[in-house]
Amino acid sequence: MTRVGLTAGLIAALAATLTMTALRVALGIPLPFELTSDRFLPFVPVEGFVAGLGLLGGALLAKQIGFYLSFLGQLALGAALGTFLERRRDGRPLTRRTVAVTLTVAAALWLLAVAVLWPALRSNYEGAPPGGAAVLSALGLLAVLAVFALSLLGAYAALARRAP
């Protein structure tokens, strides 16, 4: 077994991370970590939230830890998905079916993310109005997933051609 899938997954995860960071800086679109936090932290009891902040060294440090762990998690997930792709392909080149399934899964994940995170999608760090921010955030999530899927497929195809 080569490391084609692992490498392709890491390349795709880095491309997605760069995309989401660029969208955050340029358009104020929240990172998936921020959207998830905004969506689910309101369900945490105040006592538990304050205790968690105390364990993590305060709000600023807790947010920094969350950012770093989310970026590491993205790399780990990318590596795992790339490895999964390589094992499924077993050294064979990509087929139209593989491309279609990968893009369909990415689209399904986008729909799921939009449905689950909808209330949080209305936030924006550049001051976009809530309605526009929700559309912008949804499109940002779509862009990140598309970049990941296309980068994974492209990197895998390029690396697999060169593998012994």
In contact, 120 and 35? CB cutoff 8 Å: yes
Burial class of residue 161, CB neighbours in 10 A (0-12, 13-18, 19+): exposed
Is it the case that residue 1 has pLDDT exceeding 60? no
| Model pLDDT, residue 108 | 98
Domain boundaries, the chain: 4-42+74-162
pTM: 0.91
Is it the case that residue 53 has pLDDT exceeding 80? yes
In contact, 65 and 33? CB cutoff 8 Å: no
Is it the case that residue 2 has pLDDT exceeding 70? no
Could you read off the pLDDT of 102-157 as tens digits, one per residue?
999 999 999 999 999 999 999 999 999 999 999 999 999 999 999 999 999 999 99
